[in-house]
């Protein structure tokens, strides 16, 4: 069994490029701690440091066959760690900015107005579709949904059988499902 800790970085890279996983693990063991310290100075969060280092080494293995180092392994790893750390900082700032603007939007109450407008538009859409139903179906639907009557109560009020009312409700819901598409499920709320 080969002793990898005695080999230079260049030799380890060549072994790794040839698919030698043990050489890759030696590179990982050799640089992991110092790269974590390097990332810690920029990020200051253990979870972020772990993410940066794991992503770096995962990419190192995946791209090993096409990897071209012009300045040496150590320089490549430190530069890649710095760049990944800065990218993560930039991403976090954008997320924070977005969350701050969302908090501001919510605190100003704009979301309530937005919800009210959407709710009104949706109610108008449903009403339009209900109004376009045949008269008897429209009456059965309104008695069921607006007055909350059971099929039996509707049948008694309209002087028909409970089975007829159930069949009409089934037909009404099929029509509305077809016309309203994904909004259909909100009818029940």
Number of helices and strands in the chain (H, E):
8, 0
**Of 80, 106, 132, which marks where a domain is finished?**
106
What is the average pLDDT across 125-141? 87
Residue 113 has pLDDT above 90, yes or no: no
Residues 156, 123 within the same domain: yes
pLDDT at 184: 56
Residues 117, 84 within the same domain: no
**Of 40, 71, 106, which marks where a domain is finished?**
106
**CATH classification at residue 179:** 1.10.10.10
Residues 83, 100 within the same domain: yes
> 9 is in which domain, residue-wise?
4-106
Residues 22, 39 within the same domain: yes
CB 23 within 8 A of CB 64: no
Distances (CA, A) of 14 to 8, 22, 27, 160, 188: 10, 12, 12, 86, 65
Residues 47, 10 within the same domain: yes
Residues 96, 21 within the same domain: yes
Q: What is the pTM of this model?
A: 0.52
How many separate domains does the chain show?
2
Residue 169 has pLDDT above 60, yes or no: yes
Residue 187 has pLDDT above 60, yes or no: no
**CATH classification at residue 77:** 1.10.1740.10
Residue 131 has pLDDT above 60, yes or no: yes
pLDDT at 186: 55
Residues 39, 132 within the same domain: no
Residues 93, 25 within the same domain: yes
Which of the listed ranges 34-38, 129-133, 139-143, 179-183 does the model predict with the highest average pLDDT?
34-38
Residues 52, 122 within the same domain: no
**What is the total residue count of the chain?**
189
Residue 102 has pLDDT above 80, yes or no: no
Rounded to 10 degrees, the C-alpha dihedral 165/168/172/178 comes to 140
Neighbours of 46 (CB within 10 A): 11
Residues 84, 118 within the same domain: no
Residues 128, 171 within the same domain: yes
**Of 106, 126, 147, which marks where a domain is finished?**
106
Residues 74, 155 within the same domain: no
Neighbours of 174 (CB within 10 A): 11
What are the tens digits of pLDDT across the range 49-86?
A: 999 999 999 999 999 999 888 889 999 999 999 999 99
Computed from CA positions of residues 162, 167, 170, 171, in that sequence, does the dihedral angle turn out positive or negative?
negative
């Amino acid at each position: 069994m080969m002793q990898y800790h005695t080999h230079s970085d260049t030799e380890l890279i060549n072994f790794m490029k040839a698919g030698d996983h043990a050489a890759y693990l030696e590179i990982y063991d050799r640089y992991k701690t110092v790269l974590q310290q390097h990332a810690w100075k920029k990020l200051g969060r253990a979870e972020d440091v772990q993410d940066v280092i794991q992503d770096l080494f995962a990419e190192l293995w995946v791209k090993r066959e096409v990897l071209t180092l012009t300045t040496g392994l150590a320089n490549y790893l430190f530069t890649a760690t710095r760049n990944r750390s800065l990218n993560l900082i930039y991403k976090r700032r954008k997320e924070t900015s977005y969350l701050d603007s969302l908090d501001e939007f919510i605190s100003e109450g704009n979301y309530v107005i937005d919800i009210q407008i959407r709710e009104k538009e949706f109610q108008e859409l449903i009403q339009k579709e209900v109004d376009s139903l045949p008269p008897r179906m429209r009456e059965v639907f309104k008695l069921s949904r607006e007055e909350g009557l059971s099929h039996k109560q509707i049948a008694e009020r309209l002087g028909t059988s409970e089975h007829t009312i159930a069949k009409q409700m089934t037909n009404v819901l099929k029509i509305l499902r077809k016309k309203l598409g994904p909004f259909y499920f909100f009818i029940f709320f």
